[in-house]
Amino acid sequence: MDRAFRARLESRFGDVATEPIRQRHDETELRIPAAAAPDVLRALHDEPEFRFLMLSDLAGVDTGEQMQVVYHLWSETTSDWLRVVAEGIARDEPRTPSITFLWKGAEWMEREAYDMFWIVFEGNRDLRRIYMPPDYTSFPLRKDFFLPDDAARSPGGGVRPMERSHAPQGTSAGAIRRVKA
């Protein structure tokens, strides 16, 4: 845990952050609204006290209540992984700015997030499906996705929870998994 780095982050991004900065093990977590992500990431990338030149990972997350895009960054200036959680993306119509202008390599990772979560990255000029076929219509990693598989209609239906074609009846509250983390 790099306390000094946390202080630097606090002083620079304290006003943007939606939650206090958390640290655990070798990770520092900064939560920002999704709309602010390009500015924050550009600052992290360019400013000499941060110099986060490397985008280690870009992940979409469906918490059950909202969508998040999670960036993991690496820099020589700190010994921690920096996790930037761009949160507050609506589940019904998830849209967020793309960061391909900073890291062109994020293009496919954004495509993957779009493919799996329907998160539309505005500014990505190649936002197509990447794994699923182009005529596929649902988004498999969303928590309200249920596999419309023939296995779900079989006598074995229900043996594997993921093979449900729809949420069970009468369980509106417990239909999908949620996380408060």
Nearer to another protein, 15 or 137 (CB): 137
Nearer to another protein, 39 or 65 (CB): 65
Minimal distance in Å, beta carbon 49 to another protein? 18
Residues 55, 106 contacting (CB under 8 angstroms): yes
Nearer to another protein, 4 or 25 (CB): 25
Phi and psi based region of residue 163 (left: phi greater than 0; alpha: psi -120 to 50; beta: remaining)? alpha
Radius of gyration of the chain (CA): 19
Nearer to another protein, 48 or 134 (CB): 134
CA distances in angstroms from 149 to 15, 124, 162, listed in the order given: 47, 32, 10
Minimal distance in Å, beta carbon 50 to another protein? 14
Minimal distance in Å, beta carbon 35 to another protein? 20
Give the integer Cα–Cα distance in Å for 157 and 169.
14
Minimal distance in Å, beta carbon 75 to another protein? 10
